[in-house]
Chain A
């Protein structure tokens, strides 16, 4: 079964607004990562949060982790058109015989 699943599947907002994406997972993790993918390109690592951390910031990005609820959220503040991309969470999949397991992603569209 899939380890990480993002919600919503698609999100459309206006430039300047905040965008929040959520990720839920099923088993205990060592860390959780968020990646961005522009259409048809490779993934870009955004941020990693460890299981003993609750919140982490990087520029306009804020990631939270709630291990009791097995969920994480990615907040992008003051969004820009250039933030239009798909966003994936990735969790440690070694219990599943993988290295990292990616969710299906959230497709974010930021409208000018």
Chain B
């Protein structure tokens, strides 16, 4: 079966712009989590969605937002981009929320570069 699909794969944006990233989870998975990965901060949790509701949110400014649709696909949006937002954004899906015994399945990520 298809894995977690993240689009686009690469993105270059200018400071001040906004960007929307997309994540399609594995079919049947209802939980989607987003992570930001940078060399300096490592993997930082952004938010988690389950059944179209945000269940958990990390310590990021309000410029970072997300949503989940009825088909479990998720989008995250970053407004007023800053240079420090340059990162690999990873999406992970799982069947359920909480502590799935099978772990999370990650997409290949979207590499965002802000110039």
Task: List the interface of chain A (C-beta within 8 A of B).
Answer: 30-31, 33, 35, 40-45, 48, 88, 92-94, 97-105
Contact present for B99 and A31 (CB under 8 Å) = yes
- Extra contacts, 18 of them, besides A43-B92, A44-B106, A45-B105 (Cβ < 8 A), are A33-B103, A41-B108, A42-B6, A42-B90, A42-B107, A42-B109, A43-B104, A45-B102, A45-B104, A88-B43, A92-B99, A97-B57, A97-B58, A98-B56, A99-B48, A99-B98, A101-B45, A102-B43
Candidates B33, B42, B59; contact of A99 at CB < 8 Å: B33
Task: List, in ascending order, chain B residues with CB within 8 A of A105's CB.
Answer: 42
Known: A40-B111, A48-B101. A103 touches B58 (CB 8 A): no
The proximity string for B residues 66-94 relative to A, scoring 1 for CB distances below 8 Å and 0 otherwise, is: 00000000000000000000001010100
